Amino acid sequence: MKGHTLTASRHYAPCLLTHGGPDDSPCSSDADAVQRWFAIVPGGGRPVKTRDPADPRVPKLISHVSRCNTCLGRDRIRDCAGHARLWRVRCPTDPSFGAVADAVSELLDHLSIGARYIYLHDFGAPVGLRIAMAEPHLVSGLIVQNANAHHSGLGPQWAETKAFWANPSKENEEQATAHLTLDGTRDQYTAGLPESIAARISSDSWEEDWCVMQLPGRLATQRALIADYGNYVSQFDTIAHYLEEFCPPAIMIWGRHDPFFDLSEIISWLNALPRMQAHILDAGHFALETEAPRAARFIADFITRR
């Protein structure tokens, strides 16, 4: 996909968010920020460590996202998750969606989290859907926010990326990853948006994201994840079978000005899950940047009605 995410979702290691506190990042200046970090080695090795185990009495809202900046953790997720704890899973040594899903699953087991709502956004979809399909009986519902799971969502802007998947040459990789720049990071927030909406998003968001992207190994990780997304696309038929067989309850929160996923993806989701609630917002790919309060109300209503 030219010019884009995981979007900032391609720029960062997916995170696990469940009922928590403020976030920080390597570029944050918040001295009092609180992090609850987990060191996980899928398949064994160093044990999981946590300073603040989740209260098992609190319903869990799981969200797989890729950004690790302060605004998302402190403001957006707080809006949507209410009294939430924030748990972040560092990207495993193997930069693949399967490895991240295994790491998150290990954390869920460690915290004894059973039934869960899974929030899917962008590159979080390969992680969240892998977890959902592994234990479908534990999925209380899916929250789909600008997350692609059908070929219909991959429009012409994905031509360079598809060419890279078909022929992973150095030249094709350069074309498919040309968006991994400061301008490309900004576009993930503002591309396709009406000017009046784009003006509401602070440049601090993409500047901090790009600061994080400059850390050692981050760009290499994103290139690896872009390549691995092709493996996710090859699983679309398997995902369609899962959705048809288990028909999980679902709600859609979709920013209609998303320049990366085609609007036809909305219809594909509704065809796959005919009883899905759908809320199409006047927002961009990162819909929560401007519509977090509305999205929070929709999500809270969806969960409380279950």
Structure tokens at 188: 């993930």
pLDDT digits (tens, 9 = 90+) for 36-64: 333 333 333 333 333 343 444 444 444 44
The residue that leads in pLDDT, 161 or 51, is: 161
Domain count, the chain: 1
Residue spans of alpha helices (H) in the chain = 8-11, 70-71, 77-81, 97-110, 124-134, 159-166, 170-176, 182-190, 195-198, 203-213, 218-233, 236-246, 264-272, 288-304
Q: How buried is residue 6: exposed, middle or buried, by Cβ count under 10 Å (0-12/13-18/19+)?
A: buried
pLDDT digits (tens, 9 = 90+) for 164-204: 999 999 999 999 999 999 999 999 999 999 999 999 999 99
* 209 within domain boundaries: yes
* 253 within domain boundaries: yes
pLDDT band, very low/low/confident/very high, at 110 (cuts 50, 70, 90): confident
* 229 within domain boundaries: yes
Q: Residue range 109-124: average pLDDT?
A: 88
Range from 47-61, 85-99, 105-119, 216-230 carrying the lowest mean pLDDT? 47-61
* 1 within domain boundaries: no
Instruction: Give exposure, 80-115, as e/b (b: 16+ Cβ within 10 Å).
Output: bbeebbbbbbebbeebbbbbbbbbbbbbbeebebee
Q: Which of 53-62, 209-218, 256-265 has the highest mean pLDDT?
A: 256-265
* 3 within domain boundaries: no
* 213 within domain boundaries: yes
> Which amino acid would we find at residue 113?
I
DSSP annotation of 3: T
- Closest by alpha carbon to 107, among 37, 24, 26? 37
Is the pLDDT reported for residue 69 higher than 60?
no
Can you give the CATH number for the domain in which 229 is found?
Answer: 3.40.50.1820
- Closest by alpha carbon to 239, among 128, 163, 141, 155? 128
Alpha-carbon gap, residue 187 to 180, rounded angstroms = 10
* 60 within domain boundaries: yes
Please give the residue range of the domain that contains residue 144. 8-304
How far CA 66 is from CA of 26, 46, 277, in Å, comes to: 15, 24, 24
What does pTM read for this prediction?
0.81
* 188 within domain boundaries: yes
Whole-number percent of the chain with pLDDT over 70:
70
Alpha-carbon gap, residue 121 to 118, rounded angstroms = 10
Alpha-carbon gap, residue 45 to 55, rounded angstroms = 26
pLDDT at site 78: 55
Phi, psi of 119 (to 5 degrees): -95, 120
Instruction: Give exposure, 172-185, as e/b (b: 16+ Cβ within 10 Å).
Output: bbeebbebbeeebb
Phi, psi of 129 (to 5 degrees): -70, -35
Instruction: Give the CA angle between residues 293, 153, 269 to the nearest 5°.
Output: 65
How is 93-160 classified by DSSP, letter by letter? SS-SHHHHHHHHHHHHHHTT--SEEEEE-TTHHHHHHHHHHHSGGGEEEEEESS---SGGG--GGGHH
Could you give the 3-state DSSP secondary structure of residue 87? strand
Is the pLDDT reported for residue 33 higher than 70?
no
